[in-house]
Chain A
């Protein structure tokens, strides 16, 4: 087997405690070009804590986070975003009063560090607008560009979250339960989108829906009580007896 490519995103020994609760126990993971790396685990396993430390909204007690080989452990979320870390939220975080296009343009101007212009219209900036429109096109929201975000369906908001992340021209994507609350049809469509996206930017995917995980993931890491108990390909994880006992249940 060939030597794996350099990881785009890597955590080394990430540890975090809240009081006496160990939310993360020396977590070391990586995300390589072109892959979808799924993180699964029961509720309370520490998935949200891990995501928060990777994206920069929570400081770890120990360990480090590396983006494109650079140590970003101390960098705030906005610096990681400008360095190419795209993120989507479990509960959509979008400017609801703004239009879909405005949300996408926001991503483009934030990523370029260009909010300090006070006169010309943001939507008239050809560069920002093209980036935003291309991202909306990519996720299939081009027809909704002029709609107010509050008017979008739940599934469309998920798509918009991804579009905004794409306007950053991300090097890596971190997605927190993108399928949450989606029906079968929406889930199917989003699965297809993520499948295609991995070539553009590898995805660290936290997801509860096992069908989605098994359909998409190149690798799976299983988190239980804040520690990675297993990491491997879909087949390896399916076959792992410890994982089955701890998490997947007897019928998995």
Chain B
């Protein structure tokens, strides 16, 4: 058995070193794969705040991923065609400046999470799963019929958005940006889990009655967790759209919600690095197994089944021999 922190360090080392060696060997495709993994990891860290810390099984996180994507798509689209989003009551111009896009993505997905959370948290268990799924479908079908922004064809952005001092079209530079954000999100989430809020949320998941009897409001704690969770996944959505220079209703689909959840379960629910290991493994499997067989999802399914049945702590749990750790 390997101590969990070594597993974590190894995952981070893969993220730090593989793209660099790929750059040295001139394999930009590998860098793009790693960028995908890093962005998926951020999205899944977001979900893990709700799922792992809060115990909220959301099957609707594609909403936030998609909103982040469309925030980027719409802002960049308007900047490309030199047409403001709105002229009244105040002039809103499009932008290709990443930090502004990220800010908008985070703001929009937080707001959506606040509304969806406030409605969904009236329910628990399977009803919560169904209602979050229903919200996901609402956004999916809305985006399909949203003609000004491409409907089901989606929106293409011809040039990747900019970040001061970087050439974001260079794969390794864009990767560096995503990896930097991944590290920041990991740092913040790690602090969050140990903070008074994290402690309270964790207790509200394990013993809601206890939380209530020490003066805490479990529902409000969960709502704030859901908003933070949606914000992080929304940020990942903006990055993902920029990676592909394309955004489409597929980002809102329930398959996307399912994949984000698979990253978390694969790596280990409630572990800080669970989503990181999960996303990395998923992208690797998708690449290798996908190269071997068209039906690679069958093998992924078998693996997932094995993990859920035999290793409740996900891949990290299997490697480190510790079942469930939260925070």
Any A CB within 8 A of the CB of B121: no
* A residues 59-93 in Cβ contact with B at 8 Å: 76-79, 81-82, 87, 89, 93
Q: Tell me whether B82 is interfacial, beta carbon within 8 Å.
A: no
Q: Number of B residues whose C-beta is below 8 Å from A?
A: 29
Which stretch of A24-32, A37-45, A94-102, A137-145 is in the interface? A94-102
- Complex formed: what's the CA distance from A118 to B196 in Å? 7
Interface centre among B192, B197, B228, B326 (most CB of A within 10 A): B197
Bound CA–CA A232/B310 (angstroms) = 58
- Asked if B22 CB lies within 8 Å of chain A CBs, one says no
Assess whether B206 is interfacial by the CB under 8 Å rule.
yes
Which stretch (B62-70, B209-217, B292-300) binds chain A? Answer: B209-217
Q: Does B198 contact A (CB under 8 A)?
A: yes
A167 touches B214 (CB 8 A): yes
Whether A121 is near chain B, meaning CB under 8 Å from some CB there, is yes
Select one of A103, A110, A118 contacting B216, CB under 8 A. A110
Residue in A closest to B224 when the chains form the complex, CB atoms: A116
Asked if A116 meets B203 with Cβ closer than 8 Å, knowing A110-B214, A110-B215, A168-B215, the reply is: no
Contacting pair A164 B210 (CB below 8 A): yes
Q: Is A111 an interface residue (CB 8 A)?
A: yes
Q: Flag if A123 contacts B210 (CB, 8 Å).
A: no
Is residue B287 contacting chain A, with contact meaning CB distance below 8 A? no
What mask results when residues 184 to 213 of chain B are scored 1 for a CB within 8 Å of chain A, else 0? 000000011011111111110011011111
- Are the C-beta atoms of A119 and B207 separated by less than 8 Å? no
* Across-interface contacts of A117 in B (CB, < 8 A): 195-197
- For A161, the closest partner residue in chain B by CB is B210
The listed residue (A81, A111, A125) touching B212 by CB distance below 8 A is A81
Smallest Cβ distance from B52 to chain A, in angstroms?
12
Contact partners of B197 in chain A: CB under 8 A: 115-118
Q: Given contacts A119-B191, A123-B194, are A98 and B215 in contact (CB under 8 A)? A: no
Say whether B213 contacts A97, CB under 8 Å. Answer: no
A81 pairs with B194, CB closer than 8 A: no
Minimal beta-carbon separation of B113 from chain A (angstroms): 16
Instruction: Tell whether B103 is near chain A: CB-to-CB under 8 Å.
Output: no
Is A106 a contact partner of B199 (Cβ separation < 8 A)? yes
Q: Find out whether the CB atom of B214 lies under 8 angstroms from the CB atom of A118.
A: no
Instruction: Contact check, B214 vs A164: say whether CB atoms are below 8 A apart.
Output: yes
A168 to B211, CA, bound (A): 12
Does A237 sit within 8 A of B, measured CB to CB?
no
Known: A95-B202, A98-B202, A102-B199. A77 touches B194 (CB 8 A): no
The distance in angstroms between the C-alpha atoms of A87 and B217, with both chains bound, is: 16
> In the docked arrangement, what's the CA distance between A152 and B215, Å?
24
Interface assignment of B324: CB less than 8 Å from any CB of chain A = yes
A55 adjacent to chain B (CB < 8 Å): yes
Contacting residue for A119 out of B195, B202, B326, CB 8 A: B195
What is the CA–CA distance of A225 and B192 in the complex, to the nearest angstrom?
Answer: 49
Residue from the list B192, B195, B200 in contact with A106, Cβ < 8 A: B200
Residues from chain A with a CB closer than 8 A to the CB of B192 are 118-119
CB of B319 within 8 Å of the partner chain: no
22 chain-A/chain-B pairs, Cβ below 8 angstroms:
A55-B213, A57-B209, A78-B215, A89-B209, A94-B207, A97-B326, A98-B203, A106-B214, A106-B216, A107-B214, A115-B196, A115-B200, A115-B201, A117-B195, A117-B197, A119-B192, A120-B195, A121-B191, A122-B198, A164-B214, A168-B214, A168-B215
Tell me the B residues contacting A by CB distance below 8 Å.
191-192, 194-203, 206-207, 209-217, 221, 224, 228, 324-326
